[in-house]
Amino acid sequence: MAAIRAISPGPLSTVQDLGRPGYQRFGVSVSGAADRYALRLGNLLVGNDQRGAAIEVTIGGAEFEFTDAVTFAITGANLSPSLNGTPIPLWESLHAVAGDHLSLASPAGPDAGLRAYVNVSGGIDTPQMLGSRSTHVGAKLGGVDGRALALDDEVPIGPLTNPVPPGRRIPVDLIPRYGGEIVARVVPGPQDDKFDQDATDLFYGSTFTVSDKSDRMGCRLEGPQVPAIDDAHDIVSDGVVTGAIQVPGNGQPIILLADRQTTGGYAKIGVIASVDLALVAQASPGAQIHFEQITVDEAAVLARDRMATLRDIIFDTPDESSGERWQYDIRIDGADYQVDVDADALKGHSTAVVNGIEYDVQVVPGE
């Protein structure tokens, strides 16, 4: 069976899909990809169902070997991916042959994001547990033995059912921009009534900084203290959702991410719109977050529009190129070559014809 072998697993690489909803009443976290938008786009690029499983690589330092030829795509954070040492583009389907090495380095900068997704045609095919392949390390559920990938793990790839060509690219306007000053839209509730007008104004009027104590369970923020009325931050525990913003007694908000628990005992001032949650999940320590209040109906429209966009996505492909080609006559070591290159090659993957034979080429932009 085709597989991805972990040559160097990196600090935290886990198998993730869209999570295991439906089991929160048993105390089971939903988990799943921290950046679901990047996972969905990656799956679409390689011809999978949007719900397919990929490897979520956190802050890089990872190297993998493909045991068989495979179509793959890297989405999410820019961890300067390379194949056999040659830089490769993100957000594009690519081809690898057996033995190829895929490397992911540390984030390319403070605005590069934290988590990249290695998506493969056929999807990652570790066993499903409670309807999902997602790894929850704390609960030892899913993925490879319920843990992060370790040296020499062979992560199985599922059967190829929908082959797609390399060179499919996510249209530029759909590629998320991580970092900068993040504006996260928030639907107030369920415990927004625990905060008076001054505290609410402070929350929406301030800029918070992402703490280095953030992880897959939560994005912890530092900033002005947001006080609850009568300091009543603790509530009788109730259910929580991913994206909920808890404000504990120290007044420093915590945004709940994929591996959050199922219940929580802190007042929740609001819940982040799902379309903005990926940006929060990709925010590096030190990033700035500002909250903007919207209504539940506005957030629902944003989410429905996002789903429609994914459903109706049209990739940029080499076939839709300008058609312009560049021709060169080249002499190397005394031999003559006629080279004919697709002008769109500079955008990444393309074809070149050398002495009448067509080759797939990967053009790496230089100076």
Partner 1 sequence: MTTGNQPVPRILTCGEDALVVEFGNAVDPDINDQVYALAEAVGSANNESVIELAPTYRSLLVQYDIEQSTAADMTTFLSDLIGTADATQNKNDNAPRRIYELPVAYGGKQGEDLQDVAEHAGISADEVVAIHSGTDYRVFMLGFAPGFPYLGGMDERIATPRLASPRVRVPAGSVGIAETQTGVYPMVSPGGWRLIGNTPVSLFDPNLEPPVPFLPGSFIRFVPVSAEQAAEFASKVADGSYVVQMTEQGS
Task: Please identify, using beta-carbon distances, which residue of 311 and 331 lies nearer to partner 1.
Answer: 311
Task: Please identify, using beta-carbon distances, which residue of 139 and 339 lies nearer to partner 1.
Answer: 139
Q: Which of 112, 119, 104 is nearest to 40 (CA)?
A: 119
Task: Please identify, using beta-carbon distances, which residue of 292 and 319 lies nearer to partner 1.
Answer: 292
Query: Is 237 a binder of partner 1 (CB under 8 A)?
Result: yes
Residues 6 or more apart whose Cβ sits within 8 Å of residue 218 = 246, 254, 255, 256, 257, 260
Distance of CA 131 to the CA centre of its chain: 21
Beta bridge partners of 72: 94, 120
Query: Is 25 a binder of partner 1 (CB under 8 A)?
Result: yes
Query: Is 234 a binder of partner 1 (CB under 8 A)?
Result: no
Task: Please identify, using beta-carbon distances, which residue of 131 and 286 lies nearer to partner 1.
Answer: 131
Contact with partner 1 (CB under 8 A) among 296, 330, 346, 364 = 296
Task: Please identify, using beta-carbon distances, which residue of 67 and 132 lies nearer to partner 1.
Answer: 132
Token pair, residue 87, equals 């830089």
Contact with partner 1 (CB under 8 A) among 166, 243, 318, 348 = 243
Token pair, residue 344, equals 């769109």
Task: Please identify, using beta-carbon distances, which residue of 22 and 87 lies nearer to partner 1.
Answer: 22
Contact with partner 1 (CB under 8 A) among 234, 238, 320, 358 = 238
Query: Is 244 a binder of partner 1 (CB under 8 A)?
Result: yes
Minimal distance in Å, beta carbon 292 to partner 1? 14
Answer yes or no: are the C-beta atoms of 156 and 126 closer than 8 Å: yes
Contact with partner 1 (CB under 8 A) among 118, 273, 289, 341 = 273
Answer yes or no: are the C-beta atoms of 362 and 346 closer than 8 Å: no
* Token pair 């799956």 in the structure block, residue: 43
Q: Which amino acid is at 353?
A: V
Task: Please give the Cα distance from 361 to 93 (Å, whole number).
Answer: 13
Piece of 26-34, 84-92, 200-208, 219-227 that binds partner 1 (CB under 8 A): 26-34
* Token pair 């993100």 in the structure block, residue: 90
Contact with partner 1 (CB under 8 A) among 7, 174, 202, 241 = 241
Residues 130-159 that bind partner 1 (CB under 8 A): 130, 138-141
Contact with partner 1 (CB under 8 A) among 26, 152, 231, 329 = 26
Query: Is 27 a binder of partner 1 (CB under 8 A)?
Result: yes
* Token pair 């990444």 in the structure block, residue: 348
Task: Please give the Cα distance from 81 to 79 (Å, whole number).
Answer: 6
Answer yes or no: are the C-beta atoms of 79 and 102 closer than 8 Å: no
Residues 6 or more apart whose Cβ sits within 8 Å of residue 307 = none
Beta bridge partners of 209: 222, 288
Contact with partner 1 (CB under 8 A) among 8, 23, 317, 361 = 23
Q: Which of 282, 353, 336, 341 is nearest to 36 (CA)?
A: 282
Task: Please identify, using beta-carbon distances, which residue of 94 and 275 lies nearer to partner 1.
Answer: 275
- Interface residue list for partner 1 (CB under 8 A): 21-29, 129-130, 138-141, 187-193, 235-241, 243-244, 261-263, 268, 271-274, 296-297, 299-300, 302-304, 307
